[in-house]
Structure 1
């Protein structure tokens, strides 16, 4: 399998070329610092309309002036040990400390001016009127605005508290090396590609122990550092809870749900609904268990392809062609934007030991979206690339159709576009496939996609929610308590497990791999909501054959609140009935899977 270092340059990001030497970077940084200093002249002047509008206009230009530096430093995602970039990032962060607490007066002055005046001033300026929604949000949360002196103090210590989050990234990715496993006198290099292959393509009986040993070896770092991760996670949870209380919130719930336009009531209803409608989850694994007829059935057996078929490998060019063909029903404009997002240096394809694992898309007001993944020449990689291209094309449509800042949007909106693409890809591949066994594998992948993005996401969200509730009561989140919360959350949402345990200790540290709970608390459940919304849009699309609705959704960007946008496209987050189509779909897929498998 090709490594990133050996790949053609067109298959890599080309961000280093933004600054061919450090001096150019430092010159731009100093210009940014100077422009920030100039903004301080507006202190005690924001109660004047002209000064307020000029301050906002200049602030936007200052933000734009740093976009090149920010884009350049994103290269650290795919070369996390790049010493040059790490040094420049350190200089950048140190320089910005000059402004710690220096702009805390802005919120206080805007608060004193008042909502009515600010919105009136914005409405009278054709260029800045689009920022009205941002200021509505500001005044909505104004009761949580601390006095200026307190905010200055918090601002000064914010850098040290953010280190907690950075430690997780360092421990998980930056210091790790590929591992070796000796099994039955044979050496295996354990990396993401090997794990993916062996859990999917290996022999169900003869390789069962190899799958277990490889999985344990892959998670070895987590096991050795499990107590450290537990303490790290407890610190993150406590910091979030304490931060909410510092600004006058009664609970962490106010921060994570009230501000996200998805209420705690909606969240709890979603968990309750899923818990009562998850019968398809373990029914599916019971079907596989019966078919494989293994004496013991482990989690490492659950993703096996059930037929020994010749593996199909797809070059990047072949993958791109499949994606374009599958998304053709979206229309010419979509395909045009898709091809733009696939052009050279916009996707970083291949794995490297110092590259962030997983796949992600990074947007920017000024620059094109960037995609990173670990391409492994299979259908899974094509699906992943299709998903990420959904984000990139969504970003492009929004930038083409909405003014700043309405062309940016939350993760919950973003995941609709990406999962919609996967729905299209699945139906395209299923229609083109003539081999009955390969069709069954496609259905298997589709079921697991829904399980991962809906059912498992809700179980993880319940786990996260219960951890925060426990910590908010003043209890210590020990490793034992965390693993017990995870066990109960999985049972509540997914039901009784059909899996045997291959290692009693794995449950104590398997939760560590849920990176979102460290990096973006209460992000996971948004996948579940998004996939339900995208399925509703896709159902409408299949029924009408008209792409107008989904294209309009992409163009809307962040012009509406999350729940308002979804309701515009006939998905009501307050109504549990909105989720039923997705449940019926997965139950139908599981029944179809069982029927075909029984025939075999």
Structure 2
């Protein structure tokens, strides 16, 4: 038997493929200095307690100090977290992350007086402050937001208690993170070349894309057998995370945790329920796609582990990282010269951590602070999927770049509701470019299959996740226990509904809920689906209308958090208060199924 392929250690990854966090802090000592500076400024903040309504000057000074503290705290937290993500087994960075989280709770607790005090100021007095103090006008939208949510803001003392609970409230997510990124161990399997290879979360999708069905099945069973062994612990962490969501909704006087989660973005609950209803009206298209996949693979029974492998077997696209960057640049050219120049800056100036190493956090993300580069974590594996991951995460990063460059700190971030739009616009534009320039019919069909998989994974699958979240939160709010058996039963029933009778719903899939980190961030995943629908519409407008649509779109990227996300998207050209973008996106899916059916006859 050949020697197992081991994951490289961090020190063995070439420097050019690592992000340059030194752009945030040249050394850890400077990080420690900022900790002390934050603590000093937090002490200064206490002098404003009880004085915010006294004058517009006091209010402005307090808001500026809050921004200074928050900005520095953001740097401290982001740096520690990303150092830990490089290698979760390094105890120094575990400790620094814990210290940053503890400081965040301390800051939140100390500053928790501000919002209740602002809500206690009569509205007409706030209007007067805004009229008389030019500097305060910067905070007009921020103050409007506080007034909008006034009924859900508690007294100063109650807000302070909730702030002090922050570290405890983060426990389920943090415990799951350590189980999922550091403690859980996966078996080895024999790959296509007869070599013994360790299954990892980073390699899992690559195994499922294998043309060797035995490899796919072995990887599938290996991964879920590991989660099965942890099911009681992980069910407990998820149960208490959901209970935490219900608790905060209850004490803030929301009808449900769903209302509470959506209110931060000022999103009507109907947007969430409309998404589920609209997608479920198109499930017949998913059933057709399942049948198409079964036929194309030539299998008597299609299993869950057959869902990711390309259905065009003759095409085996391997794309080295350097080549992938060039493909992404070409695909995003419709967004204009300036956009491409910023993209190249990210590629060349240490924004990206490219390859998997021992202990590194799995998956991919874009992260950073207002003053840092918008960094990207990858676990690049040379697949077509990874090219789109680059485009996706750089979409996030350039959205952050534009927002930070064009908005003051208070509005420099963008809400989660629009967070997936820019990333998915990039994916859609890249797909259109690759399809247009594919001369080989098999390559074109391969890409079309990938496009269909984007719809399956981003619209159908994320909506299924959204329904799972809705069900488990409603059960918890009724006082029902979320046991491992309950979670597994709900999850497998949803898979049966969303995939239909032509797919064998393997028993192992009942454990998939146990490996989804997004479930610890309540009602997040639906935004992938709504964002995808918006992005498909926007990308089509960019390709058809050219500069006019690009200008609207870049204005949206520059908008940050300066307006409600629904309004920002309307400015870009899509109205997410209707189901139209969802239905339009799924019509594209249906047309792709039609075309693939014809090509496979």
Pairwise same-fold verdict (TM > 0.5) = yes
- Alignment of 1:292 with 2:297, yes or no, is yes
RMSD: 2.4
- C-alpha spacing 1:125/1:359, structure 2 compared with 1 (3 Å): farther
The equivalent residue for 1:562 is: 565
Superposed, 1:525-544 pairs within 5 Å as 525-544=526-545
Q: TM-score, normalised by structure 2?
A: 0.92
- Alignment of 1:111 with 2:116, yes or no, is no
Shift of 1:545: 2.6
Q: 2:58 aligns with which of 47, 51, 55?
A: 51
- Alignment of 1:201 with 2:210, yes or no, is yes
The equivalent residue for 1:85 is: 93
The equivalent residue for 2:200 is: 191
- C-alpha spacing 1:93/1:286, structure 2 compared with 1 (3 Å): closer
The equivalent residue for 1:347 is: 352
The equivalent residue for 1:514 is: 516
How far does the alpha carbon of each residue in 1:258-315 deviate from its partner, in whole angstroms, 9 at most, with x for none? 3322211221122111111222212112012123232332111122223443634333
The equivalent residue for 1:552 is: 555
- Alignment of 1:589 with 2:592, yes or no, is yes
Supply the distance in 2 between the matched residues of 1:369 and 1:539 (Cα, whole angstroms). 26
The equivalent residue for 1:323 is: 328
Where structure 2 has 5 or more consecutive residues not aligned to the other structure, the ranges are: none
Contact kept in structure 1, 2:249 and 2:256, CA below 8 Å: yes
Shift of 1:257: 2.3
Supply the distance in 2 between the matched residues of 1:16 and 1:177 (Cα, whole angstroms). 32
Contact kept in structure 2, 1:351 and 1:374, CA below 8 Å: yes
Superposed, 1:294-443 pairs within 5 Å as 294-309=299-314, 311-443=316-448
Contact kept in structure 2, 1:130 and 1:404, CA below 8 Å: no
Contact kept in structure 1, 2:109 and 2:161, CA below 8 Å: yes
Shift of 1:578: 2.9
- Alignment of 1:69 with 2:70, yes or no, is no
Supply the distance in 2 between the matched residues of 1:335 and 1:17 (Cα, whole angstroms). 22
The equivalent residue for 1:8 is: 14
SS in 1 for 2:165: helix
The equivalent residue for 2:490 is: 485
Supply the distance in 1 between the matched residues of 2:257 and 2:426 (Cα, whole angstroms). 34
The equivalent residue for 1:141 is: 149
SS in 2 for 1:66: helix
Contact kept in structure 1, 2:552 and 2:573, CA below 8 Å: no
SS in 2 for 1:202: coil
Supply the distance in 2 between the matched residues of 1:125 and 1:378 (Cα, whole angstroms). 56
SS in 1 for 2:196: strand
- C-alpha spacing 1:188/1:101, structure 2 compared with 1 (3 Å): closer
Supply the distance in 1 between the matched residues of 2:310 and 2:104 (Cα, whole angstroms). 52
The equivalent residue for 1:574 is: 577
- C-alpha spacing 1:495/1:436, structure 2 compared with 1 (3 Å): closer
- C-alpha spacing 1:37/1:566, structure 2 compared with 1 (3 Å): same
Contact kept in structure 1, 2:57 and 2:133, CA below 8 Å: no
Supply the distance in 2 between the matched residues of 1:478 and 1:587 (Cα, whole angstroms). 37
Contact kept in structure 2, 1:111 and 1:139, CA below 8 Å: yes
Shift of 1:156: 2.9
- C-alpha spacing 1:89/1:566, structure 2 compared with 1 (3 Å): closer
Shift of 1:349: 0.4
Q: 1:25 aligns with which of 25, 28, 31?
A: 31
Contact kept in structure 2, 1:119 and 1:135, CA below 8 Å: no
- C-alpha spacing 1:178/1:475, structure 2 compared with 1 (3 Å): closer
How far does the alpha carbon of each residue in 1:67-120 deviate from its partner, in whole angstroms, 9 at most, with x for none? 442332122122222222223334444556655744433233222223332344
Contact kept in structure 1, 2:402 and 2:557, CA below 8 Å: yes
The equivalent residue for 1:455 is: 460
Supply the distance in 2 between the matched residues of 1:436 and 1:95 (Cα, whole angstroms). 57
Contact kept in structure 1, 2:296 and 2:312, CA below 8 Å: no
Supply the distance in 1 between the matched residues of 2:263 and 2:209 (Cα, whole angstroms). 41
Q: 1:221 aligns with which of 226, 235, 241?
A: 226
Contact kept in structure 1, 2:203 and 2:381, CA below 8 Å: no
Q: TM-score, normalised by structure 1?
A: 0.92
Higher mean displacement: 423-432 or 6-15: 6-15
Contact kept in structure 1, 2:129 and 2:136, CA below 8 Å: no
Contact kept in structure 1, 2:112 and 2:156, CA below 8 Å: yes
Where structure 1 has 5 or more consecutive residues not aligned to the other structure, the ranges are: none
